[in-house]
Structure 1
Amino acid sequence: MADDIADDIQVEQLWIPDSPEAKDAADFLAAIEVGRKVRMQTWGSDDLAYTPQEKLLELADPYERQVILVARINGEIVGTVDIALPLIEDMDVAEFTLDILPEFQRRGVGRRLLEAAEHFAKSEGRTRILVDTNHPGATLDEFARGQLVPESGQGFVPLESREVDFARRTGYTLEHIEQFSSCLLPLDTKLIADLTAEAEEANAGRYRLHHWTDRCPDEWLEAVVLLENQAGADLDDDLQGAVEQDLVFDGGMLREAEEVAIAQGRRTVVTAVEEIATGALVGLTTITVLAHRPDIVFQDDTTGSQAHRGHKLGLLIKVANMVRLEEQFPDARIIYTWNAPENRYLLTVNRQLGFTTAGVTGIWLKELPRLGPSTS
């Protein structure tokens, strides 16, 4: 069925309650349930779906403003679009997450929501719109003959999929691919021992590991800031992956980011590596544990100094951090990560650890015309 716009679709901004138990929370809970059902349809589980409490915590993020629009048919919420507006950098960007209940897809709901979201973003001065499409591994095999490759030439999305067709017909261009992978926990003890020995043999005792949870020790604060600013994306497991980060970090910003994560109830497990001869930090990796779902964790940034490549430091710190995770959070049963396909080194490390490809995420861009001066 064509995705023609239905006449009975109503779009409005979602009211955000103070808590999931509030008397006025029914619409919010319905909207969250839409997202859960969509992720069940896509990935076969709701691991990547927000719980109501997790979503409320995210909506309080001081680094971005979030607005949710919902579509109703006969009073029922059948689709949502989450609009994220960065507040610190990328002030021309809006990121959309579009979810439509499976039974209401191809009825014009997505188009109506997308048009409303674009209008809202444009009114906020945002002209670069980013949306994503998600494709489980089975669909990549099913549609392998028809592939849409981004300009980078790395990775693809299935050309014949409904999501790709919709993105193209609504004026979006495929910018980037993120490979989505998962790994069951805990890791095998022999695997840990073998990989640790492999990494230690490669670095020949020239490096020392340091660990912390949630807050960076004062003694390493400036070293972490220096590493982040120098290394950039040399070794990057980037959960967002869509917008290049040009912001220069300082210690105050790092502390503020830590406090935001703590306020959201999230835990952060970090392993860093020091070059003994110079005392400099030359690599760092982070795992994030959700506040209300400690069984689900995410491999976050892995950053390293380009000058120290070839010593298997990425393997060294990622294995050590996985061990730390299992010690501190024994309920963790699965870890997820996104990687750029061109980051072959970290993809190799992930495979060694036991990660398997679950699918890909396509990042799409649309440039909106800027609002001109009023002529009234």
Structure 2
Amino acid sequence: MDIRQIDRFDDAQLKPWWELGKVVDEYQRPWSWYWTWESACAALRVENKQSERVLLGAFDGTDLVGSGHVVFPLLDNTHAAFGGVAVPPDRRRRGVGTALADALEERVAQRRRRTFMTEVLVGVDETDSPGMAFAERRGYEVGVSDGLKLVDLVETEPTWAALAAETAPHHEGYTLVSWSDEMPDDIVDSYCALATTFLVEAPMGTMDVEEEKWSRERVRDDERMRREAGRHMLGTAAVASDGTVAGFTEVVVSKFSPERGFQSGTIVAPAHRGHRLGLAVKLANHASVRAAFPECRRLMTGNAGVNEHMNAVNDSLGYRLVEYCNEIQKKL
């Protein structure tokens, strides 16, 4: 078996890598959120100053039998790397996953990154996960378990007005500010101050993560990368009377698959909790998504099982659990 690096700018190499990943992601997962070929091409070929991505393929002769990837953050969390492997069901238990995992861990160690992080998806009723068994044999440990949830915006939209009316008295004095693609200039700096705390404020269990370094320049660079990747960001912030961003939420919708979106981060600063701001910003942002992308019916999100408040918010919005995502790590 031969492990080779995949040239993301070469369709002849990238297309089989993408196709194999699609087969694996959709296997027994009717809710698969795998990116379209157009989206993958655009996102993987964008100039990225914030992280470096390496794609690998496992080959049996000329046949691609497994894929892998690793991402090296460049601005923060430079002690760590993130990645994963994918092996089709009919190729498992033949050493493909082991060869790919060995190759990825070797590259991480060569870069002097102390921790390699990845994810294993586990069915709601699954009691014996082959993915977890494989990871545990290699010395990976679960840092935190998230519940992956879906919401149908069309079905739940009739409930939004009542929820908004219920929360409104609790967040008097705050202004909800929504935007599409480009964040209003007057809230960028305060947004950065809050976004920097996201990884330490969100329940991350024992995951070896540090604060991200957010700046005005990074926000604008993020916006550039999304434009070039064909992705739209819709955000809503709760702004306090002194102009401070007290909380925010964001959803990403790709122009290549506008029928679905991904509910990204939601956070409320500790000093501003207790005002129903998490629910308020998500309600406003759901409405923004429906207005901008009426064809966008479903959103996916993930929440740590221990995050009782955000799980309650999502339950009230109609999100339903479809599977678990174990965030795991190994010290190299």
Tell me how far apart the structure 1 counterparts of residues 323 and 122 of structure 2 sit (CA, whole Å): 5
Q: 1:214 aligns with which of 159, 169, 181?
A: 181
Moved over 4 A (4+): 229-234
Match for 2:26: what amino acid? M
| 1:56 maps to which of 35, 38, 41 | 41
Q: Which amino acid aligns with 2:142?
A: L
Give me the whole-angstrom Cα distance separating, in 1, the residues matched to 2:27 and 2:194.
40
Instruction: Identify the residue that residue 374 of structure 1 maps to in structure 2.
Output: none
Alpha-carbon shift at residue 232 of structure 1 (Å): 6.4
In angstroms, what is the RMSD of aligned CA positions?
Answer: 2.1
Partners in 1 of 2:327 and 2:318 — Cα distance?
A: 26
The residue correspondences of 1:320-339 to structure 2 (distance < 5 A) are: 320-339=284-303
Match of 1:32 in 2: 18
- The 5-angstrom pairing of residues 168-207 of structure 1 reads 168-203=136-171, 205-207=172-174
The 5-angstrom pairing of residues 124-139 of structure 1 reads 124-139=111-126
CA distance in 2, matches of 1:180, 1:230: 22
Q: Residue 272 of structure 1 contacts residue 285 of structure 1 at CA under 8 Å; is this kept in 2? A: yes
Residue 288 of structure 1 and its aligned partner are, at CA, apart by 0.8
**Where does 1:1-376 land on structure 2 (aligned, <5 Å)?**
9-18=1-10, 25-45=11-31, 47-59=32-44, 60=46, 61-139=48-126, 143=127, 160-203=128-171, 205-229=172-196, 233-234=200-201, 236=202, 244-276=209-241, 278-368=242-332
- Structure 1 stretch displaced more, 358-367 or 180-189: 180-189
1:42 Cα offset (Å): 4.4
How many equivalent residue pairs?
329
More divergent stretch after superposition (313-322 vs 169-178): 169-178
In 1, the alpha carbon distance for the partners of 2:86 and 2:250 equals: 29
Cα deviation, 1:38-86, whole Å, max 9, x if unaligned, reads 11114224x4213233223332332111111111224211110111111
- Measure, in 1, the Cα distance between the counterparts of 2:157 and 2:100: 49
Residues 76-135 of structure 1 show CA distances to partners (whole Å, capped at 9, x for unaligned) of: 111101111111122222212210011111111100111111122222222311121111
Q: Which has the larger radius of gyration?
A: 1
Distance in 2 of aligned mates of 1:30 and 1:226: 41
CA, structure 1 residues 360+83, in 2 after alignment: closer, same or farther (shift >3 Å)? Answer: same
Could you tell me which residue of structure 2 aligns to residue 151 of structure 1? none
1:371 aligned partner: none
* Aligned-partner residue type, residue 249 of structure 2: T
Q: 1:283 to 1:187 in 2, by over 3 A?
A: farther
SS in 1 for 2:154: coil
Give the fraction of aligned pairs with identical amino acids, expressed as a percent.
Answer: 25
Tell me how far apart the structure 1 counterparts of residues 262 and 203 of structure 2 sit (CA, whole Å): 10
| Structure 1 runs not aligned, ≥5 long | 1-8, 19-24, 144-159, 369-376
SS in structure 1 of the partner of residue 125 of structure 2: helix
- Structure 1 pair 233/93, CA: closer, same or farther in 2 (3 Å)? closer
Hey, what's the Cα distance between the residues in 1 that align with 2:311 and 2:194?
22
Distance in 2 (CA, whole Å) between partners of 1:163 and 1:65 is 26
**CA–CA distance in structure 2, aligned partners of residues 187 and 286 of structure 1:** 21
When residues 53 and 124 of structure 1 are mapped into structure 2, their CA distance, relative to the original with a 3 A threshold, is farther
Query: Do the aligned partners of 1:213 and 1:270 also contact (CA within 8 Å) in 2?
Result: yes
Tell me whether 47-56 or 69-78 shows the greater mean CA deviation.
Answer: 47-56
Instruction: For structure 2, list consecutive stretches of 5 or more residues without a partner in the other structure.
Output: none
Determine the C-alpha separation between the residues in 2 that align with 1:231 and 1:362: 19
Partners of 1:28 and 1:279 in 2: CA distance: 46
Q: Is the contact made by 2:145 and 2:326 (CA closer than 8 Å) also made in structure 1?
A: yes
TM-score, normalised via structure 2 length: 0.92
Return the alpha-carbon distance in structure 2 between the equivalents of residues 303 and 218 of structure 1: 20
Question: How far apart in 1 are the matches of 2:203 and 2:290?
Answer: 20
Structure 1 residue 224, shift from structure 2 partner: 1.9
The alpha carbon displacement at 1:227 in A equals 3.4
Call closer, same or farther: CA 1:171–1:361 in 2, change over 3 Å. same
Decide whether aligned partners of structure 1 residues 66 and 350 sit closer, same or farther in structure 2, where only a CA change above 3 A counts.
same
8 Å contact 2:156–2:318 — kept in the other structure? Answer: no
Using structure 1 for the length normalisation, give the TM-score.
0.82
| 1:231 positional shift | 6.9
Q: Which fold has the larger relative contact order, with Cα–Cα distance below 8 Å and residues 6 or more apart in sequence? A: 2
